[in-house]
Structure 1
Amino acid sequence: MDPVSLVVGGVLLAVGFVAGRLGRRRPSGPVTPQAVCSCGHPLSQHDPERNTCHAEVVRDTYNKRGRWAGHTWVACSCRQYIGPRPIDEVFAPRVLPPS
């Protein structure tokens, strides 16, 4: 083997090692998908009996002159959960408590 090919192979090995160290993906734990409504809140924040959303959202507030004065927390204006339904409600509707 000639020394030039050994140097080229060593350089390619080093470049591959550095590229692998810099470009590797960080392991992020298992991601569980969550059913979300169009308002951005999950099914757990919605009351199916009253058709209301219990979550709060940030709204900007302005003073009398029209200048920004900060944030306030107000109730979400979503009136019904329209996201994906749980699988048990699709195949068999709930029978308890009796209506």
Structure 2
Amino acid sequence: MEPISLLVGGVLLAAGFVAGRLGRRPPPPPPPMTPLCGCGHALSQHDRETSTCYAELRRDTFDRRGRWSGHSWVPCTCRQYVGPRPIDEVFAPRLLPPSID
């Protein structure tokens, strides 16, 4: 082989290696994960004893003629939290406050 073509190939290989090293970006951090229920609300929006959701949803309201007249807040219809459970609730029940029987 010709020495000049080997030299050109080596230079191209080295330039590609250097460009790949310098142009590398660190991977973006993963987005923060918020455990959500099927209704879209977090565990903090659900009652611990009954597991019902006490958040409110914004709904559009319309007048008699069908025209948009604003927003109204209605309670969430979620009846039970179905998202991931905290690890302390999986292995041991809550001890405090004591339940009154």
Q: TM-score, normalised by structure 1?
A: 0.64
Q: Secondary structure at the match of 2:90?
A: helix
Q: Secondary structure at the match of 2:58?
A: strand
Q: Give the distance between the partners of 2:38 and 2:87, measured in 1 at CA.
A: 19
Q: Where does residue 39 of structure 1 map in the other structure? A: 39
CA deviations 1:41-91 (Å, max 9, x no partner) are: 000111122433222211111101122222222221112211111111111
Q: CA RMSD in A?
A: 3.0
Q: Secondary structure at the match of 1:35?
A: coil
Q: Where does residue 98 of structure 2 map in the other structure? A: 98
In the superposition, relative to structure 1, how do residues 97 and 31 fare at CA in structure 2: closer, same or farther (>3 Å)? same
In the superposition, relative to structure 1, how do residues 55 and 26 fare at CA in structure 2: closer, same or farther (>3 Å)? farther
Matches within 5 A, 1:9-88: 27=28, 31-88=31-88
Q: Give the distance between the partners of 1:25 and 1:75, measured in 2 at CA.
A: 44
Q: Give the distance between the partners of 2:38 and 2:26, measured in 1 at CA.
A: 31
- Letter aligned with residue 32 of structure 1: P
Q: Secondary structure at the match of 1:47?
A: coil
Structure 2 residue runs without a partner (length 5+): none
Larger radius of gyration: 2
Q: Secondary structure at the match of 1:34?
A: coil
Percent identity reads: 60
User: As a proportion of its length, which structure holds more strand?
Assistant: 1
